[in-house]
Amino acid sequence: MTQRTRHMCRETAVGAAVLIGAAAGCTAGDRAPADPAPPRHRALQQHPAPSAADGAGRAEHGFTLVASGDVLPHTSVIRQANADAGGDGYDFRPMLAAAKPVVAKADLAICHMETAYGADGHYSGYPMFKSPPEVAEGLAATGYDACSTASNHTLDDGIDGIRRTLDALDAAGVRHAGSARTAAEAKGPAWLRAGTAKVAHLAYTYGTNGIPRPPGKPWAVNLIDRGKIVTDARAARRAGADVVVVSLHWGTEWQDEPDRRQLSLGRQLTASKTGGRPDIDLIIGTHAHIPQAYEKVNGTWIVYGMGDQVAGHMYNHSGARDPRGNQSSIARFTFAPPARPGGRWVVEKAEFIPQWFDPDTGQVVRLGAATDGGLADVRDRIRRIVLSRGAAEDGLVMGE
């Protein structure tokens, strides 16, 4: 078994867990197709009256984008999906059902698929995650258009695991960014359409738990490198991206506050501009297992960490069961078209929606204003953390 780092979070009595490592590196981004295909749930979009027009006179429409945290199927989660399928196969739709009203209503919805997919019933949680490919079907049914796939577990089953994962996402109609089956596939972002905007989605991870990228295949998974991220974002913009979204698998597990590297990299990436226009329009973070703050930096929103959307009972580095590992938020941003051709698409509304994954029932639970009882404390804790870096002053509000 590949040597893992000493930091870990265990699951329950079944012994599943997540570890962290550290690494840095680079991969790619290049040219867009002339017309990116629409999202799967395009029919659900209802556009407002035109508010601007591009240089060709085309009416421009704003859009809503939602993003959610790590999908991390521990062994207990896999067992629950089997039970939800009646013991025959795996059904991940019921556990995500409560998120569907938020996800499916968005013009564009992005998830984080942290694990690789196994084959022929050989599935596992910690330490080397191999998830059932049926996860992809559950994500598609919930309304996700794309997922980031760069994480510290991307290489848990090598290049074959990447291939199975991306094949399954393709079959389900879910785009992906962050890992690749071929060098050609790695050369560009995931291209998406939302409203009338062309959206480029890029994704990177801090490392792969010490597992080296396959020999001769450095493009298999994108590693965080500031210069490369900026290069990729600029290439996407030149290729026609109206909005560039970057997913980062980063940070320190079990730490509420973003760490120094997150803060530094976030400042650097949001400060990067070309012709006075920011190269990156939104940064969405994963990995820490717990909710972290949202912050507007250099005029660009950063979600440092959304927490785990799906995970079993979580245990922190001290070996104690930590309920924070089942808390998360959904980020929802409403983008408005630019006031003039070639201008920036601007976030005119920023929201977060608290969530909790009940590891006993195996279901996501949305936590809104009407939440009462013990879960009100969970909701209030998530809200306190999310707003801990002054995001409320920049207009971030709790949504339903």
Q: What is the mean pLDDT of residues 314-329?
A: 96
Per the domain annotation, does 11 fall within a domain? no
Q: How confident is the model at residue 379 (pLDDT cuts 50, 70, 90)?
A: very high
Q: Domain tally for the chain? A: 1
Percentage of the chain beyond pLDDT 90 is 82
CB-count burial class (<10 Å; 0-12, 13-18, 19+) for 113: buried
| Residue 224 CA to its chain's centroid (Å) | 15
Per the domain annotation, does 244 fall within a domain? yes
> What does the pLDDT read at residue 179?
98
> What are the DSSP calls for 315-366, one per residue?
B-TTS-B-GGGGEEEEEEEEEE--SSTT---EEEEEEEEEEEEETTTTEEEE
Report how far residue 94's alpha carbon sits from residue 198's, in angstroms, rounded to the nearest whole number: 31
Pairing of strands 108-113, 146-148: parallel
Q: 98 near 45, Cβ under 8 Å?
A: no
pLDDT in tens, 86-145: 999 999 999 999 999 999 999 999 999 999 999 999 999 998 999 999 999 999 999 999
Range of the domain at 274: 20-398
Per the domain annotation, does 150 fall within a domain? yes
Q: Which helix (H) or strand (E) holds 111?
A: strand 108-113
> What does the pLDDT read at residue 373?
86
Mean pLDDT of the chain: 89
Report how far residue 326's alpha carbon sits from residue 140's, in angstroms, rounded to the nearest whole number: 22
Sequence-distant (6+) residues with CB within 8 A of 392 are none
Per the domain annotation, does 196 fall within a domain? yes
Q: What is the CATH number of the domain that holds 120?
A: 3.60.21.10
Report how far residue 16's alpha carbon sits from residue 246's, in angstroms, rounded to the nearest whole number: 29
Per the domain annotation, does 8 fall within a domain? no
Minimum mean pLDDT range among 150-154, 164-168, 347-351, 366-370: 366-370
Among 113, 74, 81, 109, CA closest to 95: 81
Asked whether the predicted pLDDT for residue 297 surpasses 90, the reply is: yes
Per the domain annotation, does 225 fall within a domain? yes
Q: 251 near 262, Cβ under 8 Å?
A: yes
Q: How confident is the model at residue 342 (pLDDT cuts 50, 70, 90)?
A: confident
> What does the pLDDT read at residue 59?
67
Q: How confident is the model at residue 356 (pLDDT cuts 50, 70, 90)?
A: very high
> What are the DSSP calls for 44-55, one per residue?
G----S--EE-T
Q: How confident is the model at residue 2 (pLDDT cuts 50, 70, 90)?
A: very low
> What does the pLDDT read at residue 313?
96
Q: Is 265 helix (H, G, I), strand (E, B) or coil?
A: helix
Asked whether the predicted pLDDT for residue 11 surpasses 60, the reply is: no
> What does the pLDDT read at residue 122?
96
pLDDT in tens, 203-256: 999 999 999 999 999 999 999 999 999 999 999 999 999 999 999 999 999 999
Amino acid identity, position 107: D
Per the domain annotation, does 15 fall within a domain? no
pTM comes to 0.88
Report how far residue 59's alpha carbon sits from residue 167's, in angstroms, rounded to the nearest whole number: 36
Q: How confident is the model at residue 336 (pLDDT cuts 50, 70, 90)?
A: very high
Asked whether the predicted pLDDT for residue 12 surpasses 90, the reply is: no
> What does the pLDDT read at residue 60?
80
> What does the pLDDT read at residue 47?
35
Per the domain annotation, does 227 fall within a domain? yes
> What does the pLDDT read at residue 53?
52
pLDDT in tens, 34-76: 444 444 444 333 333 334 555 455 568 899 999 999 999 999 9
